[in-house]
Amino acid sequence: MDKKTIKLIRKVVLILISLVVLGIVIWRANPVEFFTDDIKDVDLALLGLVIVLYLMNTMTKAIRWGILLNTHNKDIKLQQVIPIFLMGLFTNNITPGRVAGDPVRAAILSKKSSSRFGHGFSTVVIEKGVDFTVLTIYGLIGTIIILPMVRFAVGALMLVVLGGAMVFLLTFFVFMFSGKLMSKVIELARKHTPMPKKLKDKYGDKLLNMAFDFKNGSKIVSKSPKHFVASVGLTGIIWFNEFFRLWLILEAMHVDGVNLGTAMLASSMATLFGIFLPIGAGNSLVISAIYSQTGVAIEDATRAGVIMVGTSIWLSFILGIASMWLTFGFSKKKEQ
């Protein structure tokens, strides 16, 4: 069995596991009772606000990417960025690891504009780094807030994990913004990465050029502090929106004893560690686990996780498919 087949099997297995986990989470949320009886006690206006805030947040993420892209290419317009961003978001949410959509974004952008793949991909990777850094900071704050509500061992473990993530992310940014260090890594990869001669002759130079475009793209962003700081500021707003929506969901369900600190921790941990199970399975599982640890009834905690996923990740599927049709299907009809 070749490596491609093994990778494909792994992805299929993870998706199947995710579907099973998601099925269990939904079953634990007792949807029949929720829709036949408990829904009358839910504040539907607040849930409507949650959906509106998600749509606003998605547009804010697209604007942030546009700001980073403008460091390389001033001609890229927001109307180009939004559908490409939504297609990448859709691809991320249906694949394990949530990274498959990132090169997709850069690839579509390079086809639809004059932006080089390496330059576009560098902005996506920097955006990811900023996301995870801000999430880790929010997670640390949330953990400190809820420490009195959880067992010492649980709180200490969360602090250690998030502290380790912060050290890793700081190292990541040193690497991304250090042109000399990245050049050395590229050179080492070029010399020591095994590649069949046919593939090397055909793709070797292209891959090397992409790597150097990536390095130069990162360097350009590092020399545009206004754009980078603006992206960091928007990231803070984006993830505040994320845990505020989770808090609103629990308020809509009239769950007692919830606070923004728990929502901050739950949404941060769900995004950081829920990435391994796609389709929202990981997120809903992490959210329900954290809330059940802070005294929320398991059924309510599980329902909060499912509603959060339903009003965000599952909604991104509709937006992504619509964007694909508008970008590719509609343009083909125009050509005909």
Reported as a single tens digit per residue, the pLDDT across 111-157 is 988 888 999 999 999 999 999 999 999 999 988 988 888 888 888 88
C-alpha dihedral, 248 to 57 to 216 to 225, nearest 10°: -80
Decide if 7 is inside a domain: no
- What residues have CB less than 8 Å from 79, skipping those under 6 apart? none
Decide if 118 is inside a domain: yes
Single pTM value for the model: 0.87
Q: Which residue has the higher pLDDT, 258 or 56?
A: 56
Residue 44 pLDDT > 90: yes
Cα 267 from Cα 284, distance rounded (Å): 10
* Lowest mean pLDDT, pick from 116-130, 184-198, 301-315: 184-198
Cα 280 from Cα 283, distance rounded (Å): 5
Tell me what the pLDDT averaged over the chain comes to. 89
What pLDDT is attached to residue 221? Answer: 92
Provide the domain count of the chain: 1
Decide if 24 is inside a domain: no
Residue 95: Cβ within 10 Å count: 18
Cα 253 from Cα 38, distance rounded (Å): 9
Reduce the secondary structure of 29-85 to three states and give it as a string: CCHHHHHHCHHHHCCHHHHHHHHHHHHHHHHHHHHHHHHHHCCCCCCCCHHHHHHHH
Residue 330: Cβ within 10 Å count: 11
Decide if 89 is inside a domain: yes
Q: Which residue has the higher pLDDT, 198 or 225?
A: 225
Residue 331 pLDDT > 60: no
Q: Which residue has the higher pLDDT, 189 or 77?
A: 77
pLDDT tens, residue by residue, 59-83: 999 999 999 999 988 889 999 999 9
Rg (CA), the chain: 21
What pLDDT is attached to residue 199? Answer: 65
Residue 201 binned pLDDT confidence (cut-offs 50, 70, 90): low
Residue 98 binned pLDDT confidence (cut-offs 50, 70, 90): confident
Average pLDDT rounded to a whole number, residues 295-302? 92
Decide if 3 is inside a domain: no
Cα 178 from Cα 181, distance rounded (Å): 5
Decide if 99 is inside a domain: yes
C-alpha dihedral, 92 to 98 to 100 to 103, nearest 10°: 90
* Lowest mean pLDDT, pick from 46-55, 176-185, 263-272: 176-185
Q: How many helices (H) and strands (E) does the chain have?
A: 15, 0
Residues spanned by the domain of 162: 33-335
Decide if 91 is inside a domain: yes
